[in-house]
Every structure is written in C-alpha cells, then in structure tokens.
Amino acid sequence: MFNSVSLLSGKLRYLFALALISFIPVLCVAFSSTGSDGFDIARREILLRRLGHELLLQSGDSISRVLPVKEISENEYLITFENDLAFQPDSLVNITGRLLDKDPHASDYVVNVLNCGTSGVAYGYAISKNKKDDIISCKGRKQPRACYVINIKFKPAGITTVKDVYLLGSLPFLAFVGFIWFRSVKPRRTAPERGYTDTLTMGAVLFDSKHRKLIIQGETIGLTVTETRVLLIFALSPNETIERSRLQKEIWEDEGVIVGRSLDMFISKLRKKLELDPNIKIVVVRGKGYKLEINTNPSKFVLA
C-alpha cells in the first residue's frame, strides 16, 4: 500500500545521500591543512637551533656559535656550526627525538649529517610515526671531530593531515548517509501486522482501505492517503487506546518531520466523515491518545 509514495520518497533520499557523499571530499579539502603556518615554522627553527646547541655541548664546546638555521626548501632545513665538532650517534638520535617531540608536525623525518667539504653523508637515520618503521644504525660509533652540516627533512604535514581529516571527517557524514539510506529502504509501517483484507466493517461503516473510501448508509465518502493510514490503525484496534506518539511515529516518521497539530487536524477530519454513523466515533483519551469507539459488541467487528 502506498508504494508509489514510498518509492518517490526513497529516490529523493537516495539522491540526497549521493550528494552528501560527493560533498565529503570538498569538506575535507576545505578544512584540512596542507602545511604549517608561520608560527609553527618559527617554532621549529628554534627547536633546530636548540638541537645544534646541545650537540655542541655534547662535543665539549660551550663557546662557539650555532649559525642561523637555513630553510633550503619546504620542510627541509640545514643546521651549520661556527667550528668543527665531534658527535655520538646515540646522543644525536636522543636529542633530536626529545626536541622534535615538541613539534606536532614532526612525526616523520630524516636526519643526515654531511661533511662540509664533500657533502658526503657521515651518518644518517630516519624516524617514523610508526616506530617499527624507524631506520637507525651504527649508534655506538663515535664520529670524529670535523666540519659537519646537519640536514633534516620532514615529511610534509599535508600528507598525513589530509588523510586523517578525511577519515575522521568522513565518519559522521558516512554515518548520516547510512542513516538516510536505511530510512529510505526500510518498509513503511502503515499499521500493526495483523491479518486483514482491504475492506473492514466497523459497525454500519464499510471501510475500503485499498480504494480509500468509506461507505456509510449507501453514501460513499472519499479519504486522503494520510486519513486512510490513520483510520487503518484505529480500525485494526477498535475500542483500544492508541497512543498519540505511536500515531505520529507510524504516520509521519518516514517523512522526517513530525508536527503534532497535523495529527489533530486529520483526527478532526475523520470525525466529520464518520458523523453519519452515531455508533462510531474517535474520542480523546486524556493524557494518552485516542480511541475508536464502536458502540456495539466488539465481537461484531469483523473482517470483511
């Protein structure tokens, strides 16, 4: 019953769900950050200068300077020194890790210690957010005093940030889309499951739910789709109180909006259409809901 209405409503929700899915990447790009702002860059350079300072102290040098940190490309820096130094790989790895833990965008980076004259790599290692992917070797071998330049290259923050934002941002949208899809495909509940035919007899009233009409004393009265659905719930439970919340839920839930006064309006219309039979009426059960009262023995209410 009412399949055409359900089908149209389902198609509209399906199209709406597709629109939301296609809009998710746009939101992810709009709200994701593909790089650090000026404050983060300045803070990172201070951390790198502190790294050079602690290396000099480890080398026994508390006098010479760490030269200005150079950003040679995006996310790549050079730390240079005024004088030669010696370093212990273990100390370099530990100091770097301790300081860069304070940089929220420095979870993945590669460190190469270069010889000033040849630019050859004297020592190098790679740190990953996933610790099992770290690449560290030769930690116990002290490097001789020489002119060194430290090159540190960070993985662009945008790669991980966009992916994380995409996943986290998509979850609530996908949940919402799934909710819409579930509502669009689930069967519309028009009434409790109870055996009945399309025509029901209520006292002297013949209710044809399939053709949406009442036949009272030979007079035919037409019903709207919603009036039919409301009356069908009452007709299947004569002389029983039907809670107001149940009526609203079963009639308007799939429409997405429940308006309390809409129910009152349809109840009023049904009352007028049932006036030709004084033995049948819809009454208010205060504080609970409504009841279809048939002033005959309930056992005479039969299924046609």
- Which pair of tokens denotes residue 199? 């025509």
Tokens of 69: 């940190």
pLDDT confidence band for 149 (50 / 70 / 90): very high
- Model pLDDT for residues 249-276, shown as the tens digit of each residue: 888 765 555 555 678 888 889 989 888 8
Residue-level pLDDT at 199 = 85
SS3 sequence of the chain: CCHHHHHHHHHHHHHHHHHHHHHHHHHHHHHCCCCCCHHHHHHHHHHHHHHHHHHHHHCCCCCCCECCCEEEECCEEEECECCCEEECHHHHHHHHHHHHCCCCCCCCEEEEEEECCCCCEEEEEEECCCHHHCECCCCCCCEEEECEEEEEEECCHHHHHHHHHHHHHHHHHHHHHHHHHHHHHCCCCCCCCCCCCCEEEECCEEEECCCCEEEECCEEEECCHHHHHHHHHHHCCCCCEEEHHHHHHHHHHHHCCCCHHHHHHHHHHHHHHCCCCCCEEEEEECCCEEEEEECCCHHHCCEC
Measured between alpha carbons, how far is 260 from 249 in angstroms, rounded to an integer? Answer: 11
Q: What pLDDT score was predicted for residue 99? A: 86
The residue ranges of every structural domain in the chain are: 3-33+160-185, 38-155, 199-300
Quickly count: other Cβ atoms within 10 Å of residue 26's Cβ: 9
pLDDT value of position 179: 62
Q: Report the percentage of the chain scoring pLDDT > 90.
A: 7
Q: Which residue has the higher pLDDT, 138 or 242?
A: 242
pLDDT at 195 over 80: no
Mean pLDDT of 49-64: 88
Q: Using 50, 70 and 90 to split pLDDT, how confident is the model at 302?
A: very low
Q: Over range 67-87, report the average pLDDT.
A: 89
Taking a C-beta distance cutoff of 8 angstroms, is the pair 149, 80 a contact? yes
pLDDT higher than 90, residue 279: no
* pLDDT value of position 5: 45
pLDDT band at 147 (very low <50, low <70, confident <90, very high): very high
pLDDT value at 79 more than 90: yes
Q: Is the pLDDT of residue 65 over 60?
A: yes
Q: Is pLDDT larger for residue 200 or for residue 159?
A: 200
User: Which has more confidence, 57 or 172?
Assistant: 57
- pTM here is 0.43
Looking at mean pLDDT, say which of 6-10, 15-19, 253-257 comes out highest: 15-19
- Residue 77 forms beta bridges with which residues? 71, 152
Query: Would you place residue 124 in the very low, low, confident or very high pLDDT band (cuts 50, 70, 90)?
Result: confident
In terms of pLDDT, which residue wins out, 148 or 22?
148
- pLDDT of residue 187 exceeding 60: no
Which pLDDT belongs to residue 60?
A: 87
Nearest to 125 by CA among 107, 108, 137: 137
Among 94-108, 150-164, 275-289, the minimum mean pLDDT is found in: 150-164
Instruction: Check whether 120 has a pLDDT greater than 80.
Output: yes
- Rounded distance, CA 78 to CA 36, Å? 18
- Higher-pLDDT residue of 226 and 104 is 226
Q: How far apart are CA 123 and CA 143, in angstroms?
A: 8
Amino acid occupying residue 273: K
CATH architecture of 199-300: Orthogonal Bundle (1.10)
Q: Residue type for 180, please? A: I
Q: What's the confidence (pLDDT) of residue 131?
A: 78
Dihedral angle, C-alpha 72, 74, 75, 77, nearest 10 °: 10
Mean pLDDT of 136-152: 84
